[in-house]
Amino acid sequence: MLALVNDERAAKGCKALVIDDRITTAAQGHSTDMATQNYFSHTSKDGRTFDKRMREAGYPKPGGENIAMGYATPKAVMEGWMNSQGHRENILNCEFTTMGLGLDTRGNYWTQNFGF
């Protein structure tokens, strides 16, 4: 997934993102939470938003979040995100420097978080 994201960013002239384990922890936690509690939203059932989840995981500068459900492969979910204006804007935001990704295969819940 990181390579797919960075390919899109390079085509726009943005620097490559690097994976941050803290962001990955937050993203994976959200994907798992959506799958186990059967919902699909940027806001957790307990009211937490992506920035709160990222800060709780120890990341100080949250930037953005993309979520998706039902896509079976990284390529498919990237195509979906790139065909959606808001998701594409997150991926191509040259200010972001870090990324984390979560996937829960029970329903293929994807979470992509970005940081500064």
Threshold 0.85, pTM exceeds: yes
Domains parsed from the chain with CATH numbers: 2-115 (3.40.33.10)
- CA distances (Å), origin 115, targets 33, 74, 93, 99: 21, 20, 10, 6
The reported pLDDT for the residue numbered 86 is 98
The reported pLDDT for the residue numbered 1 is 96
Which residue ranges of the chain lie beneath pLDDT 70? none
Report the alpha-carbon distance of residue 22 to residue 113 in Å, rounded.
10
Please state the length of the chain: 116
- What radius of gyration, in Å, describes the C-alpha atoms of the chain? 13
